[in-house]
Chains A and B, each alone.
Chain A
């Protein structure tokens, strides 16, 4: 057995154990046993870290070397999730919410993480996406697959609209503008009763369908029947994968680098010839796009939307996700979204303490580890040209020097 196969097998094993752990945590009802499992995993990780120096780095390197296999196997594992929960759609529903929050957290990360534009009204984009689909589908009978891009487009337009005043202000003032934007959209969803149904909300929003097959029908696979939630689960899985790819590629691109430059110092970036207007507007529009897609899917899934689903505290929730995971770090953002959705669902008995928990999470993460649980690592800044031929050796040296530069 050569090293490559060994690595692949151990990656599969690690992913499988983590997946089983997750399944165990969510399916065990008893808090004591559940806490025991979490404690066991944490102790195991700490023990391994102490016992074998550099184990984490080794595992990281292993995953880095076999990126493609690790990703594909992870997606395959996640695809089996509904089979384990076929009798209990509740956790499939939670998994869908996890997916939606991952998409939104990635979107907010484009604004706050990449471009450093504080946005405290992100739920507004979620709301606009949801209402766009809801109104188009119920009043005009358009299909979901047409509405999804339309919702995205609509939200991008609103992102531009929010971006326009945001061009003139920054820091605290920008926070104020975005809060005000969130509140204005919330008030409008309540007050425009003819269009949005007011506080009663918008009902009977149709589910997406492919041909004659509606997503509200149970998924019949011949050997087993999955609840209808599974349809949305697979839809969300595809969308999450797409969003992760898009977000990663944007933040690794020159645009991402430009946004980082704006975040670090706006004036200095401008001195380097960066077009602030264009880049900031695009940051808002791109970030908003994710929220709009998530909103449209949410509306189609639950079939009923009301202003109460899109309040200020939702904005804060998404913000605490990216803070917990690590600003500008895509794995961190995903981790934060997963953690902050599953933990409150698990401890549903303490639902009153939920928002308090978010507040404590925000304050403690900022006080004790303000770059998040999985912090953003250094940008590998390499030039892709001039790599072949006689300059190769010189270039590698050059790259190593440049990799040390902070983004």
Chain B
């Protein structure tokens, strides 16, 4: 096996893993704060990609796409993150908060319903939404060629941006007031309430952060693959959830590691197992099922004891 091919696949896997990580972080944040699996999170990712596409549309005629692409890129990212963050906040405020305290099954089905509404809403209300939409190249198409390994600028940007987001999240959680509040709530909600933390505000804030990260992943997906579709959120949502589970739900670093791990496994399964590309998704899920059976608490989480 050629060594450069392995490195090449490694880079592709890193790119894929960055997107998975950005989604998985959202799942793990929500779970940490209110013990909820938000099945609508994949749709937030898709929503981010579509908002990004609409924003790019504003710049299409002006020629800024060519001259100031960095500026456009950041405007697109920020708009997508803000809009999706707001969407996440609305979901939390309007649908999840009234049902807080309901059984796991109810919450799961509720977020599932929300995800259907968002997905179908985009399909119906986006012009020609049932078909795949072309996402324009936001980045010059060049690449660096290092000893036969092709490293596209886009890939460098995706990986770099994901790492930047992870770093920012780390700072947010560990160094700022709001991050400490989030940690406090995830450890003991009632005690946090007694310490004077406004729980509702922090939970909404968590939803904004998680959804914004997911939306950033969506824009990355759009500019990397140049194609987005209304139903892409479903699979990525399941994969993000799987990544969060593999890493250990509730642990942010676990989610990031899980995302990259899933990316590697899928990429290498597709590349090095004969006929593997057909079964790319299946292999990912098979591994997750194995993980759930043999180590349900994930890589980084300690054992949770159950009480009657």
Residues of A within 8 A of B (CB): 112, 116, 118, 120, 164-165, 168-169, 171-173, 175-177, 179-181, 183-184, 187-188, 191, 265, 267-268, 271, 312, 316, 319-320, 323, 352-353, 355-356, 358-363, 366-367, 370
Contact = CB atoms under 8 A, between A and B. Distances in A.
Given A180-B289, A183-B282, 10 more contacts: A172-B249, A176-B288, A180-B286, A183-B285, A323-B109, A352-B130, A355-B119, A361-B113, A362-B109, A363-B95
A358 to B, nearest CB: 6
Contacts of A177: 289, 292
A165 B289 contact: yes
Contacts of B307: 267
Contacts of B306: 267
B109 A165 contact: no
Nearest to B31: A172
Contacts of A366: 99, 106, 109-110, 113
Contacts of A370: 102, 106
B124 interface: yes
A290 B293 CA distance: 27
B279 interface: yes
Contacts of A360: 113, 117
23 contacts: A112-B105, A168-B296, A169-B292, A171-B104, A172-B104, A173-B245, A176-B245, A176-B292, A180-B242, A180-B286, A183-B281, A183-B282, A183-B285, A191-B278, A267-B307, A319-B112, A355-B119, A356-B120, A359-B113, A360-B117, A362-B113, A363-B110, A370-B102
B105 A116 contact: yes
Interface of B: 37, 95, 98-99, 102, 104-106, 108-110, 112-117, 119-121, 123-124, 130, 234, 238, 241-242, 245, 249, 278-279, 281-282, 285-286, 288-289, 292-293, 296, 306-308
B124 A359 contact: no
B282 A187 contact: yes
B131 to A, nearest CB: 13
Contacts of B99: 366-367
A179 B281 CA distance: 12
Contacts of A175: 37, 108
Given A176-B242, A370-B106, A356 B292 contact: no
Nearest to A112: B105
B116 A184 contact: no
Contacts of B113: 320, 359-363, 366
A367 B95 contact: yes
B116 A183 contact: no
A356 B296 CA distance: 34
Contacts of B242: 176, 180
Max chain B C-beta neighbours (<10 A), residue from A112, A180, A312: A180
A362 B120 contact: no
B229 to A, nearest CB: 15
B105 A118 contact: yes
Nearest to A363: B113
B117 A165 contact: no
A179 B286 CA distance: 12
Contact of A184 (B123, B130, B286, B296): B286
Nearest to B234: A312
Contact of B292 (A168, A355, A359): A168
Nearest to B36: A172
A362 B107 CA distance: 11
B95 A187 contact: no
Nearest to A362: B113
Contacts of A359: 113-117, 119-120
Max chain A C-beta neighbours (<10 A), residue from B112, B119, B278: B112
Contact of A191 (B234, B245, B279): B279
A184 B282 contact: yes
Contact of B124 (A168, A169, A188, A352): A352
A181 B124 CA distance: 29
A165 B112 CA distance: 22
A165 B293 contact: yes
B243 to A, nearest CB: 11
Max chain B C-beta neighbours (<10 A), residue from A168, A176, A265, A353: A176
Contacts of A352: 123-124, 130
9 A-B pairs closest in CB distance: A359-B116, A362-B113, A356-B120, A180-B285, A363-B113, A359-B117, A172-B37, A171-B104, A165-B293
Contacts of B105: 112, 116, 118, 171
A267 to B, nearest CB: 5
Nearest to B108: A175
Nearest to B278: A191
Nearest to B129: A352
A353 B129 CA distance: 13
B241 A176 contact: yes
A116 B108 CA distance: 13
A334 B75 CA distance: 52
Contact of B117 (A112, A187, A363): A363
A238 to B, nearest CB: 32
B98 A267 contact: no
B108 A355 contact: no
Given A319-B109, A370-B106, A168 B308 contact: no
Nearest to A173: B292
A390 B114 CA distance: 58
